[in-house]
Structure 1
Amino acid sequence: MTREIAKTDQDSVQIGPVAIARLSRTDAIRRLLAVPGSGTRLAVAFANAHGLLLAMDDPAFAKALAQFLVLNDGIGAEIGARVLSGAGFEDNLNGTDFVPALLDAAPHGTRVYLFGARPEVVEKAAGVFAARHSTITICGWRNGYFGEDEIPEIIADINAARPDILLVAMGNPRQEFLINRLWSDLDVPLALGVGALFDFTAGEVTRAPSLLRHNGLEWVYRLWQEPKRLGQRYTSGIIRYLWKILCLKLSGKSARA
């Protein structure tokens, strides 16, 4: 089977080396849920300013993302799209809000496997997902701490669970590199890299107020929560990202600046 990725200039915007699909929330959910049972396969990534900057800095990550359907996440992607193409996105497809909406819309019996986070977190998240989304079946979960020698066992466990949707929560770029690496051995139609979703779902990390989330400013709240860990990402990282966007605009190119 092959990945179901169809990117054209008309339905995507190029931000540096990353092509981000222009899809509304409704259209994105419809497109993803059409994959299981269709004989096609699709890997999905969410691109915020941090992820886009990583791709601009690391050709290997940019190459990996080229194998994904990439959706926009937050104000950084919105700014990049507006500056480089003159138009933003219809909806902010923040993965932490988008994935629960996807699961709400999933057909009855949709099988979901969770992979990532600490053991106690992924187990709690599995229970919360099962309680909140009555149509899905949590067919398995596995924490994100493992050695190289455990990978064959992990692949076998995921395949034995027969998931329709695989959620991988390890942060980027690790989750995208891992999905890309294991893809040919996994019998999974739809996989999504979901970052800190399990931590949010399990209540380990609190969400920003809805006003900040709806305006793409959840990063402000996250910076306030974890200034030491996220300080560089959301200060100098944002400055570097905006500078690269400006360089791309001035050069008239969408390649790395």
Structure 2
Amino acid sequence: MNMHATRAAFGLDSLKMILGIPVLAIRWNDAIALLNRLLAEKRFTKVSFLNAHNANIAYTDPVFAEALDDFLILPDGIGVDLAAKLLYGAAFPDNLNGTDFVPAFLQASKRPLTVGLLGATRVNAEAASLKLAALAVQHSFVVVHDGYFSAAQEPEIIGRIAKLRPDMLLVAMGVPRQELWIERHIDERHCT
């Protein structure tokens, strides 16, 4: 999805290009409302966060940059804020870094969701599941698999995701592996 397609798909006017990546300039509460709306409408959406590290990787890796074209990108950190100030005269309205935004989004979402977790070590994925379940008791959290699997295991993991069909799948495998994996394997057949 290029910048124009992103604007059209989400009805967005506030995109800022950072090293060729369209990043949504949105307030925290508006981003929560947008994601809740997309979930309510059952609009399959890939979401990622752009920080300085991701932006630099995308700038030098055209495959990663192309994969990000199909994601709704939220701003993460001071690096992209500084870039926005230099390029557009103003920082992003809010810092929507994933480690803060995702738990806040889950807390704010009233409709019960099934949330799949894929990635990290098994111990860390289980711990994250327990923490998130205590934080957002209205949701169900399911650890699909850790992030350490072979290509031969992928069909089983993808099948497990399709069977679970979570409302939301959180993938934690590091940049750019997680975005590339999502781009190659996850679509509306797997998640709401």
TM-score by length of 2: 0.90
1:102 corresponds in structure 2 to 105
The amino acid that maps onto 1:129 is L
In 1, Cα distance between equivalents of 2:113 and 2:161? 15
Q: Deviations over 1:99-119 (max 9, x none)?
A: 000100122421100000011
Contact 2:75–2:97 (Cα < 8 Å) also in 1: yes
Please tell me whether residue 22 in structure 1 is matched to residue 12 in structure 2.
Answer: no
| One of 131, 134, 144 as aligned partner of 1:131 | 134
2:91 corresponds in structure 1 to 88
TM-score by length of 1: 0.68
In 2, Cα distance between equivalents of 1:82 and 1:91? 13
Q: Deviations over 1:24-62 (max 9, x none)?
A: 110111111112241421000101100001111111111
Structure 2 SS opposite 1:6:
helix
Q: Deviations over 1:72-120 (max 9, x none)?
A: 0000000011111112111111111000001001224211000000111
Choose 1 or 2 for highest CA Rg. Answer: 1
Q: 1:143 to 1:18 in 2, by over 3 A?
A: same
Unaligned 5+ residue runs, structure 1? Answer: 190-257
2:166 corresponds in structure 1 to 163
Greater relative contact order, per chain length (Cα 8 Å cut-off, separation 6+): 1
Structure 2 SS opposite 1:120:
helix
The amino acid that maps onto 1:158 is I
Q: 1:185 to 1:42 in 2, by over 3 A?
A: closer
The amino acid that maps onto 1:14 is M
In 2, Cα distance between equivalents of 1:56 and 1:23? 23
What is the count of residue pairs matched by the alignment?
187
Contact 2:16–2:84 (Cα < 8 Å) also in 1: yes
In 1, Cα distance between equivalents of 2:22 and 2:106? 25
In 1, Cα distance between equivalents of 2:8 and 2:80? 20
Unaligned 5+ residue runs, structure 2? Answer: 1-5
In 1, Cα distance between equivalents of 2:152 and 2:188? 15
Structure 1 SS opposite 2:54:
helix
Q: Deviations over 1:220-241 (max 9, x none)?
A: xxxxxxxxxxxxxxxxxxxxxx
In 2, Cα distance between equivalents of 1:140 and 1:177? 20
- The alpha-carbon deviation at position 155 of structure 1 amounts to 1.0
Root mean square deviation, CA, Å: 2.0
1:72 corresponds in structure 2 to 75
Contact 1:123–1:141 (Cα < 8 Å) also in 2: no
- The alpha-carbon deviation at position 184 of structure 1 amounts to 3.4
1:221 corresponds in structure 2 to none
In 1, Cα distance between equivalents of 2:8 and 2:187? 16
2:3 corresponds in structure 1 to none
